[in-house]
């Protein structure tokens, strides 16, 4: 099942830089692991913001919730999730 996930990060202004960098490092490793597994299919930066638009390919909304809530930056994110379905006019066979 595909989901579009929009994430905006809001780190506290008083968070020490070393703490922020450590969290970001764990976030990058976790995101890359999910991409290698094929669960995080696409990841795009939204220009000019600390935001991204991503496509997840997971079994169901419960799996998505578990993956997203495991993100090290999760406590600092505003997240919007939209379920996606294959469009009947799509010419791409690998759309799910």
Q: Which residue has the higher pLDDT, 93 or 21?
A: 21
Q: Where are the alpha helices (DSSP H) in the chain?
A: 17-36, 61-69
Model-wide pTM > 0.85: yes
Residue 95 clears pLDDT 70, i.e. is over it: no
> What is the pLDDT, as a whole number, of residue 65?
98
What's the mean pLDDT when you consider all of the chain?
96
**Tell me, which fold does domain 2-84 have in CATH?**
Alpha-Beta Plaits (3.30.70)
pLDDT tens-digit series, residues 28-49:
999 999 999 999 999 999 999 9
Give the separation between CA 62 and CA 56, rounded to whole angstroms.
Answer: 12
**Tokens at 90, concatenated:** 């799509």
């Amino acid at each position: 099942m595909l989901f579009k996930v929009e994430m905006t990060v809001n780190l506290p202004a008083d968070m020490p830089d070393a703490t922020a960098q450590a969290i970001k490092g764990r976030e990058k490793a976790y995101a890359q692991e999910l991409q290698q597994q094929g669960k995080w299919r696409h990841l795009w930066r939204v220009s000019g913001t600390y935001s991204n638009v991503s496509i997840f390919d997971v079994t169901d909304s419960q799996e998505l919730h578990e993956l997203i809530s495991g993100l090290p930056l999760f406590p600092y994110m505003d997240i919007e999730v939209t379920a996606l379905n294959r469009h009947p006019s799509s010419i791409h066979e690998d759309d799910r």
